[in-house]
Amino acid sequence: MLLAAPVPTPPPPPHTGGLLALIPGTAGLLTVAALGIALLLVLIIKVRLQPFVALLGVSIAVGLAAGLSVTELFGTVQKSDAVSLIETGMGGILGHVAIIIGLGTMLGAILEVSGGAEVLSARLLRLFGEKRAPLAMGMTGLIFGIPVFFDVGIFVLAPLVYAAARKSGKSILLYCMPLLAGLSMTHAFLPPHPGPVAAAGLFKVDLGWIILMGLVCGIPAVLAAWGYAAWIGKRLFVEVPQDMVEAADEARAAVAAEKPDAHEQPVPLGTVLAIIGTPLLLILLATFSSIALPRSAGRSVIEFFGHPFVALTIALLMAYYLLGIRRGWSRRSLETVSTASLKPVGNILLVVGAGGIFGAVLKGSGVATALSDTFHDVGLPVVVLAYLLSLVLRVAQGSATVAIVTTAGIVVPLVEGQGMSQAHLALIIMAISAGSIFASHVNDGGFWMVAKYFGITERDTLKSWTVLESVLSVAGFAVAALVSLVV
């Protein structure tokens, strides 16, 4: 396996102090958990506190309320005297996640600036024809969404939607909704996007299993979403927003100005597909070689090249050469594009790290054990509980990443020591990911991005985008729940 399975550890002894001095035992720990989650939602929704700060503050508050000492939370000046839950929680998750997100972000930036999305979309439009242009838009979002973030995908691909809608004279919903479904599916279910990568790190699951189960759950989900997109696109007419068309033209001109002047030739489609597919294939081969092949030198080689760090590095180097140097880019241009792409990643990594802290505090304080016992008494399968928790957190505060890392911190203790396979754990992660995209509405930045980029009124955005996300979420969870019955 690329990542070792978690070693079961006995639950920590319950702490005394804080709220537990007033409400003893499991009841006190559950009270701490409930108040902690409520405080997190208030800080994010009402106070508008940055999610990283909110998660960090709530983690500290929960730890102190559950009876953890200051030394247990923060360590001491002499680092060897005590283990800091905050440091180990932050470092434990970011040591795995930061590298993958960083490499994936740079890869997506090179594909974006090189014009790979335009080549992919143009070829798909020719392949499917004008009558099936919505399907071509959906396939573009699905494929190009693997290496790029959701908001970047909208920025790059929106002009293609404008062009297709203007040419046909039909509602822009018919073209943008399939595209958005593809981008959203990959963002929620597949690496190297932050949500599934962060959850894989917390659950100690190989990314190969995340890719496989992401495809198993995500493809039926996106097909269901495309069906709804076709239905709503014929019933709600939304014109192409002229102001956004003009703004997109200016943005594309700005991006073009950053490209080296030495190349004008189009990017070969095969090159784009090879760069996107190489890391996925290498990671999958490594995962299944650890199952199907005996330990040998050959298996070690496959596992080496299929480690996410190595696979993504290979893909990035391929992009540097095939899309950059071979087409006339200077090394300085490659460095500029790569460095600029990492600027938005800082906030994501901090939120993911704070989620790791939250999980570590829940476990170290005994709150996680109390939650585990209580949820097991409820009798619902973990996959269902994981989905419902993620769904509630998503609808309440809007951020998919916050919903995933918070839910994972709560759910990980429920599965420790249960002997669940990597495949089953990956399906639980898919349920969490599915819950994290349910009912995007006014507290979600993605809602406003969709509304403004495609000129949709708030009411029609609720009818189209919000429902589309809910269809994607429910369908993805349904597949994850069904497959979990046999895995």
Query: What confidence tens digit (pLDDT) does each residue in 102-149 have?
Result: 898 898 888 878 888 778 888 888 888 878 999 999 999 999 999 988
Identify the band that residue 83 occupies on the pLDDT scale cut at 50, 70 and 90: low
pLDDT > 60? residue 213: yes
Q: Mind listing the pLDDT tens digit for each residue in 295-309? A: 899 999 999 999 999
165-205 pLDDT, tens digit per residue, is 888 899 999 999 999 999 999 999 999 899 999 999 999 99
Q: Residue 397 in contact with residue 41, Cβ under 8 Å? A: yes
pLDDT at 2 over 70: no
pLDDT of residue 8: 44
**pLDDT at residue 3, rounded to an integer:** 41
In a domain, 221, yes or no: yes
Q: Would residue 206 count as lying in a domain?
A: yes
Q: For residue 292, name the pLDDT band (cuts at 50, 70, 90).
A: confident
Q: Give the number of domains in the chain.
A: 1
Q: Is the pLDDT of residue 281 over 90?
A: yes
Per the domain annotation, does 7 fall within a domain?
A: no
The model's pLDDT over 394-445, given as tens digits with 9 standing for 90+, comes to 988 888 888 898 899 889 888 888 889 999 999 999 999 999 999 998 878 8
pLDDT of residue 211: 96
- Mean pLDDT over the full length of the chain: 85
DSSP state letters, 417-449: TS---HHHHHHHHHHHHHHTTTT--TTSHHHHH
Q: Give me the pLDDT at residue 343, please.
A: 82
Q: Give residue 11's pLDDT band: very low, low, confident or very high (50, 70, 90).
A: very low
Looking at the chain, the whole-number percentage of residues with pLDDT higher than 70 is 89
Q: How confident is the model at residue 235 (pLDDT cuts 50, 70, 90)?
A: very high
Give the pLDDT confidence score for residue 23 in this predicted structure: 54
Higher pLDDT, 24 or 113: 113
Which tokens sit at 43? 């800080």
Q: Is residue 12 part of a domain?
A: no
Span 449-457, average pLDDT: 89
> In terms of pLDDT, which residue wins out, 54 or 363?
54
Average pLDDT on 41-60 reads 88
Domain range for residue 134?
18-484
Closest CA to 320 of 469, 470, 107, 144: 107
| pLDDT at position 1 | 34
Q: Which of 40-44, 263-267, 464-468 has the highest mean pLDDT?
A: 464-468
Question: What pTM does this model have?
Answer: 0.82
Is 1 contained in some domain?
no
Q: In this predicted structure, which of 31-35, 196-200, 216-220, 222-226 has the lowest mean pLDDT? A: 31-35
CA 462 to chain centre: 22
Q: Is the pLDDT of residue 47 over 60?
A: yes
Is the Cβ–Cβ distance between 146 and 214 less than 8 Å?
A: no
Domain contains 232: yes
> Is 232 a residue whose pLDDT tops 60?
yes
For residue 77, is it within any domain?
yes
The answer, yes or no, to whether residue 16 has pLDDT greater than 50, is no
Q: Tell me the H-state helices in 242-328.
A: 242-258, 269-292, 297-306, 308-319
Q: What is the pLDDT of residue 166?
A: 86
Average pLDDT over residues 469-482: 98
252 part of a folded domain: yes
Q: Is the peptide bond before 51 cis (omega within 30 degrees of 0)?
A: no
More confident residue, 358 or 315: 315
What is the Rg, in whole angstroms, of the alpha carbon atoms belonging to the chain?
Answer: 23
Cα 63 from Cα 36, distance rounded (Å): 10
pLDDT of residue 313: 95
CA angle 55, 60, 65 (to 5 degrees): 125
Residue 13's pLDDT band (cuts 50, 70, 90): very low
pLDDT of residue 85: 86
Q: What is the pLDDT of residue 249?
A: 61
Using the 8-state DSSP alphabet, how is residue 74 labeled? Answer: H
Say how many CA atoms lie within 13 Å of 144 toward its Cβ: 34
pLDDT at 197: 93
Q: How far is Cα 11 from Cα 7, in angstroms, rounded to an integer?
A: 12
- Per-residue pLDDT at 475 exceeds 90: yes
Find the mean pLDDT for residues 76-97.
74
Reported confidence tier of residue 20, pLDDT bands at 50, 70, 90: very low
Asked if 105 and 113 count as a contact pair (C-beta separation under 8 A), the reply is no
User: Where residue 265 falls among pLDDT bands split at 50, 70, 90?
Assistant: low
Rounded Cα–Cα distance for residues 317 and 319 (Å): 5
Residue 130 DSSP label: G
Confirm if 291 and 209 have CB atoms less than 8 A apart: no
